[in-house]
Amino acid sequence: MIIYVVIFSILAVLLVASALFAIIQKDLLYAVIATGVISLILSVMFFILQAPDVALTEAAIGIALTTIVFVITIRNTTRNEDEKEINSK
């Protein structure tokens, strides 16, 4: 049973790391890819906690739908987060 605790701790650290990556990064496409990684890790964590229905919903929504919606949004607006433009408004 100790192996699940170790794997769960590693996954939690990786989850926080990729969430920080998604916040800090200025290029918004990298943030979208990081969101996909977050949903993948979260789905494995739900699976270890023996909740397969939640993991299934998280996998289906997170990896396909969220990525498609965000990429279409980036296509219609801008890709780089420009600080000067935000400050001038």
Partner 1 sequence: MELNYLYITVLVILSIAFIIGMLRFIKGPTASDRVVALDTISIIATASLVFMGYIFNRYIYLDVALIYGVLGFIGVIIIARYLEGAL
Per rule CB under 8 A, is residue 50 in the interface with partner 1? Answer: yes
Taking the least distance from each CB to partner 1, the nearer of 1 and 88 is 1
Q: How many binding residues for partner 1 (CB under 8 A)?
A: 34
Maximum distance among all alpha carbons in the chain?
Answer: 56
CB of 81 to partner 1, least distance (A): 15
**How buried is 38 (Cβ within 10 angstroms: 0-12 exposed, 13-18 middle, 19+ buried)?**
buried
Please give the Cα distance from 29 to 25 (Å, whole number). Answer: 9
Closest to partner 1 by CB, 48 vs 85, is 48
